[in-house]
Amino acid sequence: MTITEEAPDDTRTPPHDINAEQATLGGMLLSPRSIRQVCEIIRPGDWYRPAHEMIYDAILKVDASGEPVDAISVNDELVRRGDAGVVGGAPYLHTLTEAIPVAANAGYYAKIVSDRAVLRRLVEVGTTIASLGWRAEGELEDLVARAQQLAADVETLQDVEGAGLVKLDQVYQEVVDDQDATDDEAAVIPPYADLREVLPDAKPGQVVIVGARPAVGKSVLAADWARFNALHRNVGTAFFSLEMTRLELGQRIMAAEANVLLERLRSKDLEESDWQRVAAVKEVWDRAPLWMSDDFNISLPHMRSRLRKLTRTHQIDLVVVDYLQLMEGAVSENRQQEISKISRGLKKMAKEFGVVVVVLSQLNRGSTQRSDKRPQISDLRESGSIEQDADVVILLDREDTRDKESPRAGEIDLLVEKNRNGAGGREVVCAFQGHYSRVVDMAGTSWKG
């Protein structure tokens, strides 16, 4: 059974307002100021009557050429395009100028046109979502994710006025407020004091890539970002673990937070003093705004769907993904294209939800084949556009993973190779405490201090 058979009202005329469209175009023909005003509100495709979209395009073309915009010049442009006869020619253009009492009202009528377009899109999306349900083709989770994405696309159409150009004076207070903000006020900050000297905070919409070879400490850093911000700063955090189960992730966080040896947690061999420390952190865990997903087969649409559901009821400022190359993409694409698309999607997700996204990424074997074994940004596996999409790239290196007798055993280098809002090429040395599954400042700075 198809959606057409179930929807007797699907032949109704979609929402529109021809009079508002005529008044909007009339205002543009009468006043250059109205053109600017309307362009901030109207999106391509908002016009219900195709002839009106042709006229709108012609007005913008004449305006861009520097010529005065009026019924005569716009008609000339329509004639040049061969569209004058389709839209009604000069007589119809003069009719448009009479359709609006005052040109200054063009913005008001443009908003009506825009609203009707959103309603039409809502009808289209509703029909599509209903069709997804009736046809039931594909996995249920995929269908739900698709429906939520369609609904979100409609929601973003309502923000067109706020998405335009902003005059400099409107940004002044933002700059001043940013200067006054302290680490305690910043939504998301790095978990180590020494790293904060290089990277004071991470802004909403930014993507932080943490790259390393296997067994160097990527997942430890990921857990530290989440643990520090969620447990110690009350920052809403979503952790998508594609490698570890939530039990394994929980054990790492417990070891780091309660000063309990990770191996004892794994082997279920806690001593009485360990149990006391575990009990002591329960209150912190209970109130921590940290949510975890351990779906090994998660795709970007599913991740967005779950994040959207979570943000309806909770403030989320940090998203951690462990790790990029394990995310599923389109099967038809080669791996580099697939990773590039996922990387760009994560950047869009960061901006859409206003969150910081910390993403772990595997490095290829390039560093192992060089005389200098330290990782480089070119070592990002199947890198595609990862470097371009990232605002910050931090590469990890531990000499003792290559040389067990290294005098630097127990140290981890955080190489800040890219920092869009600061100096790149900086190195931060921290202490790697693998037995507690954590990294700490060399000075032993306490998060609780």
Q: What is the percent of the chain with per-residue pLDDT over 90, rounded to a whole number?
A: 31
Asked whether residue 331 carries a pLDDT value surpassing 60, the answer given is no
394: domain CATH number is 3.40.50.300
pLDDT tens digits for 44-86? 789 999 999 999 999 999 988 888 999 999 999 999 999 999 9
**How far, in Å, CA of 224 to CA of 438, rounded?**
7
Q: Could you tell me if 370 and 229 lie in one domain?
A: yes
Report the candidate in 149, 155, 158 with the shortest Cα–Cα distance to residue 128: 149
Question: Which pLDDT belongs to residue 136?
Answer: 80
Domain count, the chain: 2
Residue 217 lies in a domain: yes
Using DSSP, state whether 241 is helix, strand or coil: strand
Asked whether residue 138 carries a pLDDT value surpassing 50, the answer given is yes
Residue 46 lies in a domain: yes
**Which stretch, 84-98, 147-161, 374-388, 409-423, has highest mean pLDDT?**
84-98
39: domain CATH number is 1.10.860.10
Mean pLDDT, all residues of the chain:
83
Domain boundary among 163, 195, 225: 163
Q: Could you tell me if 256 and 356 lie in one domain?
A: yes
What is the mean pLDDT of the segment spanning 130-146?
A: 79
Residue 61 lies in a domain: yes
Question: Which pLDDT belongs to residue 171?
Answer: 67
Q: Could you tell me if 31 and 67 lie in one domain?
A: yes
Q: What is the percent of the chain with per-residue pLDDT over 70, rounded to a whole number?
A: 85
Q: Could you tell me if 260 and 306 lie in one domain?
A: yes
Residue 449 lies in a domain: no
**How far, in Å, CA of 344 to CA of 333, rounded?**
15
Which structural domain, as residue segments, surrounds residue 236?
182-441
Tell me the CA distances in angstroms from 338 to 322, 342, 349, one per residue in order.
Answer: 17, 6, 16
Angle at which helices 50-64 and 32-39 pack, to 10 degrees?
A: 120
Asked whether residue 332 carries a pLDDT value surpassing 90, the answer given is no
Res. 8 pLDDT band, cuts 50 70 90: very low
Q: Could you tell me if 378 and 288 lie in one domain?
A: yes
What is the mean pLDDT of the segment spanning 338-365?
A: 86
Asked whether residue 381 carries a pLDDT value surpassing 60, the answer given is no
What is the mean pLDDT of the segment spanning 340-345?
A: 84
What is the mean pLDDT of the segment spanning 310-335?
A: 80
Residue 174 lies in a domain: no
Q: Could you tell me if 110 and 152 lie in one domain?
A: yes
Res. 155 pLDDT band, cuts 50 70 90: low
Tell me the CA distances in angstroms from 329 to 44, 326, 336, 338, 373, one per residue in order.
Answer: 30, 9, 11, 6, 31
Report the candidate in 265, 260, 263 with the shortest Cα–Cα distance to residue 247: 265
Domain boundary among 163, 192, 224: 163
Within 312-375, where are the H helices?
Answer: 335-353
What is the mean pLDDT of the segment spanning 135-143?
A: 78
Res. 6 pLDDT band, cuts 50 70 90: very low
When comparing pLDDT for 365 and 404, which is higher? 404
Q: Could you tell me if 405 and 435 lie in one domain?
A: yes
Within 288-373, where are the H helices?
Answer: 300-311, 335-353
**How far, in Å, CA of 424 to CA of 410, rounded?**
24
Q: Could you tell me if 312 and 246 lie in one domain?
A: yes
When comparing pLDDT for 356 and 295, which is higher? 356
Dihedral of CA atoms 295, 297, 298, 302 in degrees, nearest 10, equals -100
Residue 91 lies in a domain: yes
Q: Could you tell me if 67 and 21 lie in one domain?
A: yes
Q: Could you tell me if 340 and 275 lie in one domain?
A: yes
Q: Is 262 exposed, middle or buried (0-12, 13-18, 19+ CB in 10 A)?
A: buried
Res. 156 pLDDT band, cuts 50 70 90: low
| CA pseudo-torsion sign 314, 242, 428, 409 | positive
Residue 169 lies in a domain: no
Q: Is the peptide bond before 56 cis (omega within 30 degrees of 0)?
A: no
Question: Which pLDDT belongs to residue 341?
Answer: 82
Q: Could you tell me if 186 and 150 lie in one domain?
A: no
Asked whether residue 359 carries a pLDDT value surpassing 90, the answer given is yes
pLDDT tens digits for 109-129? 999 999 999 898 888 888 888
Residue 177 lies in a domain: no
Res. 392 pLDDT band, cuts 50 70 90: very high
pLDDT tens digits for 159-210? 544 455 566 666 666 676 666 666 555 579 999 999 998 988 888 899 999 9
Per the DSSP assignment, residues forming a β-bridge with 416 are 394, 426
Question: Which pLDDT belongs to residue 383?
Answer: 57
What is the mean pLDDT of the segment spanning 18-33?
A: 91
Q: Could you tell me if 253 and 127 lie in one domain?
A: no
Per the DSSP assignment, residues forming a β-bridge with 381 are none
**How far, in Å, CA of 132 to CA of 96, rounded?**
41
Res. 328 pLDDT band, cuts 50 70 90: confident
Question: Which pLDDT belongs to residue 116?
Answer: 92
Q: What is the DSSP letter of 419?
A: E
